[in-house]
Amino acid sequence: MRIGFDNDKYISLQAEKIRKRIGQFGGKLYLEFGGKLFDDYHASRVLPGFEPDSKIRMLESLKDDVEAIIVINADNIENAKRRSDIGITYEEDALRLMDSFRARGLMVGGICITHFTGQPHAEAFQRRLEGMGVSVWRHYLIDGYPSDVNHIVSDEGFGKNDYIETTRPLVVVTAPGPGSGKLATCLSQLYHENKRGVQAGYAKYETFPVWNLPLKHPVNIAYEAATADLDDRNIIDPWHLEAYGEVTVNYNRDVETFPVLKAMMEKIAGESPYQSPTDMGVNMVGLCISDDDACREAAKNEIVRRWFAAAEELRRTGSGKEALDKIELLMSQAEVTCDYSPAHQAALAKEEATGGPAAAMVLPDGAVVTGKTSDLMGAAASLLLNAAKHMAGIPKKTYVVSSEALVPICHLKTEHLRSHNPRLHSDEMLIALSLSSATNDEAEATVDALEQLAGCDAYFSVIISEADKSTYRNLGINVCCEPKYERRGYYHR
């Protein structure tokens, strides 16, 4: 993959920016962390060279000054909301976040449950946490939020929330997903700190949109595509333009709510330290792009991936037409189509030639390999095997999976697990390949080559199974599916 982002520079500049912001507020900063801390795969896809765990690595450089508070919306607990990318509930992800922080030696103060109105599952989650020795605080719904500033910034507003006692200069406020109440938690803490005579400030760390890239830069367009279902829009920050005469990019929700946020800060501390939403940010991503063309290309591919994901969601659920329409407009702005990757047409051509589901992948050397459906393997398994063999320098027609490993797995599926389909999924093929590698050097080389496929784009002529998607995801391969099923029917797995 062509590198377009200097990750080491980013970690260094970002840590220094946050240190300066802590100093600006006299030694105490509540930092609202947007996006994903440990697995920011969107950023790594549109900024090639950005490591998915860059943010947490940056925090490690500030380890002695950092304390994390994890925020979760009580309604999300009650509704068992899940992260779409890794498939776990928000409450389980909150536990995962705590483990990830602590595994890196970072302090976790506890969990704040927001929007609390007595939801039974939220109460049960609190009992579960307290049983594990985790500190838990409750923040409540506030009448008139966010417009009734006088009520919000009062003992009946922020004042009724639990005060979160913190001990470190940098308090990172993060959450499993959007809508958790991170901003309100930070402002509530500023209110309580001010009442206690403690000087503290607030800042926001949001990777996208990138404030110092053009509004229609593909990296910023890709962010809009990623949040199409949330109706986020990138816009010029009018407050920053008015205050400084400088054009910067922000998103509509921050721009629309800034007057209220500024009024809250003035109510809490007597004055606002910020003149614009851009002022609040500490994001240094835009200063660490080392190859703009590489990032533009990567972002365009991501926009196309988002289109396929939205089209598949519409086909699966019947919902999401508005998001798909929006992404189509964004594709037009970025001057791309669903055929932007050569793998798309290659997969469709292979399906037409073979009469069955097919797939194609663009490899790191630029080659496009294909996979077809056979009696023993599905298209996903076939493509993965062919791609790994290519990277290992093994001819496509060379057999690296032994029949001694393959046949028993097919027999197990049909005879004992009662599957009507003997063809192997990609994970089952990898097991057979791994078994073959014990006695076959070429199979071993094929296994070793799998890691070279991370970041590649795979296109399928039909919607593939969740088992295959999971395998590809674990290998770091991006998946796009034509929005159609292999067979006609009402139920699909």
Per-residue model confidence (pLDDT) at position 482: 97
Low-confidence ranges of the chain (pLDDT < 50): 491
- Return the exposure string of 58-82: e unless at least 16 CB atoms fall within 10 Å of the residue's CB, then b: bbebbeebbbbbbbbbbbbbbeebb
Pairing of strands 358-362, 457-460: antiparallel
Fold held by 341-481: Cytidine Deaminase; domain 2 (3.40.140)
pTM assigned to the model: 0.90
| pLDDT for the residue 493 | 58
User: What's the confidence (pLDDT) of residue 37?
Assistant: 80
Write down the domain spans for the chain. 7-221+230-288, 341-481
Per-residue buried b or exposed e for 402-419, using 16+ beta carbons within 10 Å of the residue's own CB: beebbeebbeebeeeeee
Cβ(298)–Cβ(306) under 8 Å?
no
pLDDT of res. 491? 47
Helix (H, G, I), strand (E, B) or coil at 152: helix
Question: What is the reported pLDDT for 286?
Answer: 97
The Cα-based distances of 487 to 370, 375, 409, 493 in angstroms read 21, 16, 24, 11
Question: Which one, of 258, 312, 269, 462, lies nearest residue 379 by Cα?
Answer: 462
Q: Is 427 helix (H, G, I), strand (E, B) or coil?
A: helix
Q: Under CATH, what is the fold of the domain 7-221+230-288?
A: dip2346 fold like (3.10.630)
Backbone angles phi, psi at 56, to 5 degrees: -70, -30
pLDDT tens readout for residues 464-489: 999 999 999 999 999 999 999 987 65
Q: What is the widest separation between alpha-carbon atoms in the chain? A: 76
How are strands ordered across the β-sheet holding 66-73? 136-140, 107-116, 66-73, 170-174, 29-33, 201-205
Among candidate residues 118, 121, 116, the one with its CA nearest the CA of residue 141: 116
Give 281's DSSP letter: B
